[in-house]
Amino acid sequence: MAFVTTDDGAEIYYKDWGNPDAQPIVFHHGWPLSSDDWDAQMLYFLAEGFRVIASDRRGHGRSSQIGTGHDMDHYASDVSAVVEHLDLHDAVHVGHSTGGGQVARYVAEYGQPQGRVAKAVLVSAVPPLMVKTDANPEGTDISVFDGFRQALAANRAEFFQAVASGPFYGFNRDGVTPSEPVIANWWRQGMTGSAVAHLEGIKAFSETDQTEDLRAITVPVLVLQGDDDQVVPYQDAALKQAELLSDATLKIYEGYPHGMLTTHADVINADILAFIRG
């Protein structure tokens, strides 16, 4: 397996498939998952002739279960370590949920200043800020995230099962048939990671204000989200992202859930491909 060691000693696992001379697409997964969550996208874009890369966030998946640095700054610097190790240029960065925050911070702080990024895609992403504050009255109350922390600390396995079988994929909606293999795969990915990384990651994805990251990004960005996202409300995420970004293309999907990359991969993949080639 391939790893990059960061300056503070985290070992970051990554996948790198395809022709090394092809345009790279770098995928950034959501909480509490791993790069395996991008299987449907990586295989699709590999078949379309791209070089596809994805890493496991520190404390997640096969990356080391380091006890520190579970914040958006370290997430972005870890991405930069992988990108610089592979010497990627003209890359497209695609982030889902927490991975969307990771993309925004990486592009603003590293990729764009270094001239390594061509475009970005934010899918059901957390920026600019999830938690409710005086400046963000439309946000989600802190009590919700405190509930996440309490449930995770009490019984992480049960909590992850409830998330995957319920709101993440919209399997709690009337008329939707849950996929037990999809639920099991989500649970598997989550339980492979570190409990402390997942616990501290809740603060990272909910309380990090990324308004200035979005304002700093000038490369074209595709913003995608479902209007039935029960995890990240689209009115406080995708709509605000499109307003803050200088070159955004916004698409809202009627009835799609937070995990639409899995439930509607055929639609999402085609839309991302059209954006990249457009």
**Distances 35 to 11, 53, 228 between C-alpha atoms, Å:** 15, 9, 24
Which residues, at least 6 apart from 114, have a Cβ–Cβ distance to it below 8 Å? Answer: none
Q: In the prediction, which pLDDT does 33 show?
A: 98
For every one of its 278 residues, what pLDDT tens digit does the chain have, with 9 covering 90 and above? 799 999 999 999 999 999 999 999 999 999 999 999 999 999 999 999 999 999 999 999 999 999 999 999 999 999 999 999 999 999 999 999 999 999 999 999 999 999 999 999 999 999 999 999 999 999 999 999 999 999 999 999 999 999 999 999 999 999 999 999 999 999 999 999 999 999 999 999 999 999 999 999 999 999 999 999 999 999 999 999 999 999 999 999 999 999 999 999 999 999 999 999 99
Q: In the prediction, which pLDDT does 1 show?
A: 79
Q: In the prediction, which pLDDT does 111 show?
A: 98
Let me know: does 250 contact 242? Beta carbons within 8 Å: yes
Q: In the prediction, which pLDDT does 223 show?
A: 99
| Active site amino acids | 97, 229, 258
The model's pTM is 0.98
Q: In the prediction, which pLDDT does 97 show?
A: 98
The total number of residues written for the chain in this structure? 278
Q: In the prediction, which pLDDT does 133 show?
A: 95
Burial of 12 (0-12, 13-18, 19+ CB in 10 A): buried
